[in-house]
Amino acid sequence: MTDEHDTSGDHDTIDALLDEQRTFPPSEAFKRNALVADTSLYDEAARDYQGFWARQAAELVDWQDDWHTICEWELPYSKWFVGGRLNVSYNCLDRHVLAGNGDRVAFHWEGEPGDSRTITYAALLAEVQLFANALKSLGVAKGDRVNIYLPMVPEAAVAMLACARIGAAHSVVFGGFSAQSLTDRINDAEAKVLITADGGYRRGEVFPLKTAADEAIAGCPTIEHVVVVRRGGNEVQMVPGRDHWYHDLVEAADPVCPAEPMDSEQLLFLLYTSGTTGKPKGIMHTTGGYLTQVAFTHKYVFDLHADTDVYWCTADVGWITGHSYIVYGPLANGATQVMYEGVPNYPANDRFWSIIEKYGVTKFYTAPTAIRTFMKWGAQEPAKHDLSSLQLLGSVGEPINPEAWMWYQEHIGGGTCPIVDTWWQTETGGIMISPLPGCTTTKPGSATFPLPGIGAEVVDDDAQLVTHGGGYLTLTQPWPGMLRGIWGDPERYHDTYWSRFEGRYFAGDGCKLDEQGYLWLLGRVDDVMNVSGHRISTAEVESALVSHPSVAEAAVVGANDATTGQAIIAYVTLRGGLEVAVDELRGHVAHEIGAIAKPKAIYFTPDLPKTRSGKIMRRLLRDVAEGRNLGDTTTLADASVVNELQRRAVEAPTED
């Protein structure tokens, strides 16, 4: 199903970005207070990157036992801070309380209906100990896996930290994923316990989670217990002996649960992400290196002043951004955060800006797709609120187009906030390419340079170094937060990331290098789509479509979309004589994967364009979907298929 790695669709983007000449050096005012205002960290790391990371690990993390080796690197496997022992939850909680900061707010939590909770570090520590003991009482032990399927409630962070405290690995599944997706992820991880909620709030209504969880675990033989957080207040079925209310467990639990030191390479979590085949990959992250990188990057990329900042990352804990930049990085640094449960347009389009005003948010981290949506809603929305507390803005998840960057800076940042465009992946664990706001001159649309301690280079198809122009982004040396593999599938780990370019990690992203060495990320070059910053593989959607009884064959492509970055476009061939409504097929995909994977448009076609060897010509379908003139079609087995598709593509697409 896979084309050759093909960047042909990126030429327009490259040309557009080549025209971007604006530069924004850090202001004197920002530099004055910045943690880093010169290149000393870069210089230090360039001399000895492992020594640099070791210094960060010693400064930013508390260790029970010191490591004996900074990094063991046997391509493609790395171990960091080998021999060291530490506990992540101790680092995120206990040490702040012991240092006298127990009264500092960890979370200003804002529920979508307008309710709120203020949770201090001392309160969070107390709750995590209770819940860690509750997990133990359910038989969870070091080395076990626990699945988490929750809305954006504080208990999500509590559950993750409680697992870390006792050495169980968590696997968080985004609450928007379907029962079927949850089943697949639980079974792959062989999780013992599932933590979910009755329901959560979304756009003013309660969406049921427990019913999806029930449907999921009907197919999960390893699940022994289910913990249910009460949030939605909706009715749920509790299975006696298996299901337990969170609040009952916590009420009965012992308040003291010492943080047990873990080996630096102890598995901290699995997080499933889409690859180029239908089966999601369980990305493995471990303890010491991961915590070091997320603490370092959170501190320096966001220029964190923990005693005065109010930081808000709008991601969901179901994604890596929620793991690294809501839970582990900020809490390790003792930051005060906002955590928000709901959508940006409830009750009205200015909800985010009212939250920033209410809590005096100083550092704000969101996604380009959200920014483009805010642009559509209009500058009058942020203008209704006093956003003068903001000092820095961040962007993550997809390329940010210069126009959105400029709008963000002007209308949210008041023309003065530096913007950090941060490139990284589930696999990298933490931010890899980003400005340091007190030192880097930014350009709208460029993530600028690799951070200190990170090696990144652009290469061409033949693995030759690109010094100027377009190519593929690769990483050239191990980094502490790097994935340690794919759960249960070492071969796939090697093949996906380490086989394309010898000795280099292949990120799957196209990238342009300009004359001054700035990196401009261009999006995925493989069969992974990026829809509103969410990774979805074409193969996953194709197999969901083909699992419908009326569908014979399907080809899915990501087409450029002004708001969501890419949109899912499907071409479907039906089984002889059968018919099905487009909405039914879209609903079927939502049921199989989740609403985020619903195709924006589905075209029925008697045939799919294929090469003579039978491979679907995805590039061509993308050209059709984006209304481009078709390039070379000489390799097509049957050229008439394409004319038919083009004719159909001018019919209005279906949309939500």
List contacts with ligand WTA (CB under 6 A). 273, 319-321, 396-399, 421-426, 447, 507-509, 521, 523-524, 530, 535
Q: Which is nearer to ligand WTA, 291 or 507 (CB)?
A: 507
- The two three-digit tokens of residue 482, written as one number: 């790097």
- Shortest approach of ligand WTA to residue 319 CB, angstroms? 6
- Shortest approach of ligand WTA to residue 419 CB, angstroms? 11
Question: Going by DSSP bridges, is the β-strand pair 116-120/105-110 parallel, antiparallel, or unpaired?
Answer: antiparallel
Q: Which is nearer to ligand WTA, 165 or 443 (CB)?
A: 443
Helix (H) or strand (E) holding 123: helix 121-137
- Shortest approach of ligand WTA to residue 390 CB, angstroms? 19
- Shortest approach of ligand WTA to residue 273 CB, angstroms? 5
What are the CA-CA distances from residue 180 to residues 150, 481, 504, 570, 591 (Å)?
16, 30, 35, 21, 7
Q: Which is nearer to ligand WTA, 385 or 492 (CB)?
A: 492
- Shortest approach of ligand WTA to residue 174 CB, angstroms? 10
Q: Which is nearer to ligand WTA, 89 or 395 (CB)?
A: 395
Spatial separation of the C-alpha atoms in residues 456 and 115, rounded to whole Å: 44
- Shortest approach of ligand WTA to residue 477 CB, angstroms? 18
Q: Which is nearer to ligand WTA, 275 or 382 (CB)?
A: 275
Residue 495 contacts by C-beta under 8 Å, 6 or more apart in sequence? none
- The two three-digit tokens of residue 203, written as one number: 């756009």
- Shortest approach of ligand WTA to residue 269 CB, angstroms? 14
Spatial separation of the C-alpha atoms in residues 25 and 38, rounded to whole Å: 12
Residue 650 contacts by C-beta under 8 Å, 6 or more apart in sequence? none
Spatial separation of the C-alpha atoms in residues 507 and 30, rounded to whole Å: 33
Q: Which is nearer to ligand WTA, 264 or 422 (CB)?
A: 422
In terms of Cα–Cα distance, which of 531, 578, 534 is closest to 552? 578
In terms of Cα–Cα distance, which of 601, 591, 523 is closest to 556? 601
Q: Where are the alpha helices (DSSP H) in 196-278?
A: 210-217, 246-252
Q: Which is nearer to ligand WTA, 535 or 618 (CB)?
A: 535
- Provide the 3-class DSSP secondary structure of residue 580: coil
CB 511 within 8 A of CB 470: yes
Q: Which is nearer to ligand WTA, 105 or 531 (CB)?
A: 531
Spatial separation of the C-alpha atoms in residues 183 and 191, rounded to whole Å: 10
Which residue, chain included where needed, has tokens 């490139």?
423
- Shortest approach of ligand WTA to residue 325 CB, angstroms? 9
